[in-house]
Amino acid sequence: MWLTQLLERNRQGFGGRVALADARRSLTWEQLAGRVDLLAARLNAHGVQRGDRVAVLSADRSEVVETYFALGHLGAVFVPLDPSLVPGEIEEIVDHAKVVGVIGEGALLERADRGATASSWRLAFEDPLFDDAGPGASAAVGRDGAGGGQPAFEPHVRADDPLAILYTSATGGRPKGVVVDHRSVKDISLGWLAATAPHPEGVLVTSGPLFHGTVVLAFAHLAAGAALVVAGPRPQDIVEAARTHRATHLWLVPETLRAVLDHLDAEPGQTLPDSLAEVLYGAAPLTVELYARAARTLGCGFRQVYGLTEAGGPIVTLGPGEHPDPSAELPETLPTGRVIPGMSLRIADENGRPLPAGHTGEILVRGDGRMRGYWRDPAATAAATVTGWLRTGDLGRLDDEGRLHLVDRLTDLIIRNGRNVYPAEIERVLRRHPAVADAAVVPVADGDEGEVPLALVVLVPGATAGRTEILGHLVERMAQYKVPKDVQIIEELPRNSTGKVQKKLLTA
């Protein structure tokens, strides 16, 4: 019941401070605790019990966080759904998770109103269950009548009870449900607090999706007593949220960071507040060029975040002090950082044997923060571990100072005439061409060489560079075996909600 303890502790210590906000409202810790108590009691009266799975289908808004806390208090399991999913995809996940009900925005719930979901109930955020206890009236509802005692009921929830089932983005195939328990969120949050020390009077503005594993970042900052502000998806929404709430921390994926910088360039009168101490970024690679542009424009610290849903969320970080001076000569790539306290990391060969510093292999992690397993998929759970370690599917190396350097996805590795070719390396060089806005490299079968890289390139608006020029740029900067067999110019790269390129769609 760690989320319940977090909420109660902060209600006692910071009751009058803002805890949670979005574009529509702000809630103090006292108000948030009261609304969560009320929602938990009403869901319990609605029949929700410990172990029940409840799906949540919504764009990012404060009610999603309230529902996380309420279901956690009951020992029920939060099953977030990506609001961009089509009805058939929703049906597949809801059926696989065996949910008892679906909570969310009324308009989106219509997508869940078919097929296998027909036997489960729906509850809209617009329902009086959410609306009839406004922020000012909710503080004492559901408590012992004294307006500040303990919750009226205390379900028995254990640390190893599931808290959420987070379905993967399926960049490599069918979505799998990652089971995260209460201990996982507690351990990852405490490790993050130990590594980064967010201030209890801080304000984290997040544009990261709340249905994703990065939501643990939000819980870690809430655990410190900091406020969480859920921003809208547009760059102007993010800037407005940061200015309105005097953000100290801003969580962005690289593509969103680029959009925010473009917005600030187009609107000279708009700036981010001088209260901003750190920009947190992750979920996709950040080029050194984009980092330098952002650091020069924003003038704050930057913190890289690496993790994966199966590992419990953020497990590696590179702090502001380890980022290069943006005005000095930049390295080719940025390190990813060091593992947080409570988790262990190693680089291993294909048999799980550890490799020394400087050698590239698969990144393995271990610790209580990792997932319990994949929901109803023991074969996939077994395949995800080797010698007791969780396989991340990412390739990396450790330097002599214990910092992780990401190399590529293991599944993206191209073997050309027996030599390893890393698409991420080629993509970095491609993006250095002044006419290239974005790039992805995928494998294609070749009768002579087995596999060869194919480069797919998005040009900067107005640029006219062609195949020959771009290949020449690569030939001058890379060994011949790394140079793609061909270059294709395309309009845009398909990305998922966290900014990752969906390479499977490029090879279909």
Look up the CATH number of domain 413-506: 3.30.300.30
Q: Which of 105, 28, 26 is nearest to 64 (CA)?
A: 105
Residue 147: the pLDDT is 38
pLDDT of 141 strictly over 50: no
Confidence of residue 115 (pLDDT cuts 50, 70, 90): very low
Three-class SS state of 74? helix
> What percent of the chain is modeled with pLDDT above 70?
93
Pairwise pLDDT comparison (294 vs 508), residue with the higher score? 294
Please determine, for residue 436, whether its predicted confidence score (pLDDT) is greater than 60.
yes
Sign of torsion over alpha carbons 402, 407, 413, 416 = negative
Domain definitions of the chain by residue range: 1-157, 338-410, 413-506
**Is the C-alpha dihedral spanning 7, 12, 14, 18 positive or negative?**
positive
The full length of the chain comes to 508
- Please calculate the CA angle 224-227-229 and round it to the nearest 5 degrees: 140
On the question of pLDDT at 134 being above 80, the answer is no
Rounded average pLDDT over 47-71: 96
The predicted structure's pLDDT at residue 507: 79
Contact present, 205 and 260 (Cβ < 8 Å): no
pLDDT at 138: 40
DSSP labels, 178-202: EEEEHHHHHHHHHHHHHHH---TT-
Instruction: Determine the Cα–Cα distance for residues 71 and 53; give it in Å rounded to an integer.
Output: 9
- Tell me the residue ranges of DSSP E strands in 341-435: 343-348, 361-367, 373-374, 385-386, 389-398, 404-409, 414-416, 419-421
Q: Say whether pLDDT at 210 is over 70.
A: yes
Which residues make beta-bridge pairs with 162?
181
Q: What is the mean pLDDT of the chain?
A: 91
The closest alpha carbon to 214, from 273, 245, 173, 256, belongs to 256
Closest CA to 27 of 11, 42, 13, 12: 11
Say if domain 338-410 classifies as CATH 2.30.38.10: yes
> pLDDT per residue over 161-198, tens digit each?
999 999 986 544 578 999 999 999 999 999 999 999 99
Fold for the domain defined by 1-157: Rossmann fold (3.40.50)
* 2-14 vs 215-223: helix crossing angle, rounded to 10: 40
Report the pLDDT averaged over residues 206-233.
95
The pLDDT, as a whole number, for residue 83 is: 92
Check residue 218 and give its pLDDT: 97
pLDDT interval class at 425 (50, 70, 90):
very high
Angle at 165 between CA 162 and CA 167, to 5 degrees: 160
- The one-letter amino acid code at 206 reads T
* Residues facing 230 on adjacent strands: 206
pLDDT in tens, 367-412: 999 999 999 999 999 999 998 999 999 999 999 999 999 999 998 9
Q: What ranges in 342-389 are assigned the alpha helix state H?
A: 378-383
With a CB cutoff of 8 Å and minimum separation 6, the contacts of 110 are none
What's the pLDDT tens digit per position in 229-285?
Answer: 999 999 999 999 999 999 999 999 998 999 999 999 999 889 999 999 999 999 888
| Chain segment 93-104, per-residue pLDDT in tens | 999 999 999 999
User: Would you state the torsion angle of the CA atoms of residues 164, 233, 394, 434, taken in this order, to the nearest 10 degrees?
Assistant: 180
Beta strand 450-459 with 436-446 is antiparallel
What whole-number distance in Å separates Cα of residue 344 and Cα of residue 388? 12
Over residues 293-306, the pLDDT tens digits come to: 999 999 999 999 99
pLDDT higher than 60, residue 462: yes
Q: Extract the tokens encoding 210.
A: 């709340």
Average pLDDT over residues 306-329: 96
**CA–CA distance, 407 with 425 (Å, rounded to integer):** 8
